[in-house]
Amino acid sequence: MYALIDGNNFYVSCERVFRPSLQGRPVIVLSNNDGCAIARSNEAKALGIRMGAPWHEIRHMEQSHGLVALSANFALYGDLSDRMMSLAAGLGPHQEIYSIDESFVDLTGVPGNLVERGRKIRERILQWVGIPCCIGIARTKTLAKLANHVAKTAERKPGSYPEHLAQICNLEALGSDELEDVFRRTQVQEVWGIGPRIGLQLINEGIQTVYDLVQIDGATVKRGWSVMLERTVRELKGMPCIELDHSPPPKQQIASTRSFGRTVTGFTDLEEAVTEFASRTAQKLRGQHSFCAQVMVFIRTSPFRKDPQYSRSIVVPLRRPTADSASITQGALQGLKAIFREGFNYAKAGVMLLDLQPDDQLQMELTLEDEEDSGRSRVRLMSALDAVNERYGRGTLTLGSAGVRGARRSWTMKQERRTPRYTTHVGEMLEVRA
DNA sequence: TCTGGGGTCCTAGGACCC
DNA sequence: TCTGGGGTCCTAGGACCC
């Protein structure tokens, strides 16, 4: 048995914790560069604002409907997520943190009424953190996701599902007639693992609801689509195929990419940006105790503009696997030189680290003694760099080619509506006056 | 004028091996 | 007219997730 617990409209709920006046109003959170909507309150959903809607297309609703749009404040969301997750872990013995707002909990062996237990945890998260959650409970992870969808939709749209399934939904507790009713009311595109493409194909084949989908036998699904969809169908039939990942394996690639606040044309701007992206990836790499053997760098123009288009990437092999910011940055800049072309309006760039391996399983090589010493001192230098940036904030210490804070850096992202980092930045804490 | 970022897994096809 | 069989590895592209 699994539970899936997630925060409702998570980013918006985080903003409302510190600004209760946003309750009951249509609120959205925008992506980096204030580009498009990535979280919507129920009221914003009711206005017909789609996930990913470009801000410039819906901006007029500020005036007409009192829409509130905020820039993404990931420092705040990450911190509230940690608090929510530690309380959600109380549901059962093992937890898998699946995303910033969702976790699966293995309920095997948990005694008593699971719905009651869920309700207590939900109340605690609401009271202690301030985030409203919904919980889905079922025999497989895919069904737990489905149950969670039912719990949320029943709460938000009365009449869509039986009322008693709102907020906390345990599919295992339903009779077969009621379960069939839930399956008939749920469209295939709502299923975890079925995206817009496959969803459309299924509908064209006359398979509209989860009920239709579970009528098909596995072999037909595999032949007509893929082993992935077959697995999903088996899970919907109650056969567990996806296990809980309670200690997620180290990442196989690490990326840092950004769209620019405005387009840039010069090599120097790209050099600064790529230096920063490379440094960030290197820091993440050290965080999971890995080395990388290859660095990928890409630059591209905006496909949304009518400008001449250019998009290229290149993979640069490193001389030896490393987690040193300078070596990784050097590789990335070397790649950038190779792919840069004059005369384009660049809108985005990024660095990805590939071919990752644990940093304690390095292939040894013959080195001169002083080189080995300098290798060790580089490791200490990187530890010191990370420690200083951890203590005093990201960007306190950077490589020279990253450019100087507050100087040009014309490429940095636009965030015109960000709320304070209430819980992670001393200078931005809430002040309460008597 | 203005359209996010960071991941995973699967598949098909080509190169290569014995 | 006729040209093996079985396997691995790599890459690019597609689909999906939040």
Question: Would you state the pLDDT for residue A62?
Answer: 95
pLDDT tens digit sequence for A329-346: 999 999 899 889 898 999
The protein residue nearest B11 (Cα–C1') is: A226
Q: Give the count of alpha carbons within 13 A of A164, CB side only.
A: 7
Phi and psi at residue A314, to the nearest 5°: -150, 145
More confident residue, A388 or A72: A72
Question: Would you state the pLDDT for residue A70?
Answer: 96
Query: Protein A40 CA to nucleic acid B8 C1', in Å?
Result: 26
Q: What is the mean pLDDT of residues A138-156?
A: 97
Handedness of CA A193, A75, A386, A297 (dihedral sign): positive
Q: What is the torsion angle, in degrees rounded to the nearest 10, for the CA atoms of residue A400, residue A402, residue A408 and residue A414?
A: -160
Which A residues 312-351 have CB within 7 Å of strand C? none
Query: Protein A296 CA to nucleic acid C10 C1', in Å?
Result: 16
Q: Do residues A386 and A286 make contact, with C-beta atoms less than 8 angstroms apart?
A: yes
More confident residue, A90 or A383: A90
Q: Do residues A172 and A139 make contact, with C-beta atoms less than 8 angstroms apart?
A: yes
Question: Would you state the pLDDT for residue A424?
Answer: 86
pLDDT(A326) > 80:
yes
The protein residue nearest C14 (Cα–C1') is: A197
Rounded-to-integer distance, Cα A32 and Cα A71, Å: 7
Strand B nucleotides where any atom sits below 7 Å of a protein CB: 1-11
Q: What is the mean pLDDT of residues A224-239?
A: 92
CA of A38: nucleotide with nearest C1'? B4
Could you check: is the Cβ of residue A203 within 7 Å of any atom of nucleic acid strand C? no
Rounded-to-integer distance, Cα A126 and Cα A89, Å: 15
Which residues are in reach of strand B, CB within 7 A?
Answer: A 31-33, 35-36, 38, 52, 54-56, 226-228, 251-259, 263, 284, 302, 304-305, 347-348, 350, 352, 413
Query: Protein A193 CA to nucleic acid B12 C1', in Å?
Result: 21
Query: Protein A355 CA to nucleic acid C9 C1', in Å?
Result: 14
pLDDT mean across residues, chain A: 90
Could you check: is the Cβ of residue A98 within 7 Å of any atom of nucleic acid strand C? yes
pLDDT(A365) > 70:
no
pLDDT tens digit sequence for A398-409: 777 666 555 557
- How far does Cα A33 stand from its chain's mean position? 17
pLDDT tens digit sequence for A368-383: 556 666 677 888 888 8
Any idea what DSSP says for residue A427?
G
Query: Protein A369 CA to nucleic acid B8 C1', in Å?
Result: 41
Question: Would you state the pLDDT for residue A249?
Answer: 79
**Pairing mode of beta strands A254-264, A346-358:** antiparallel
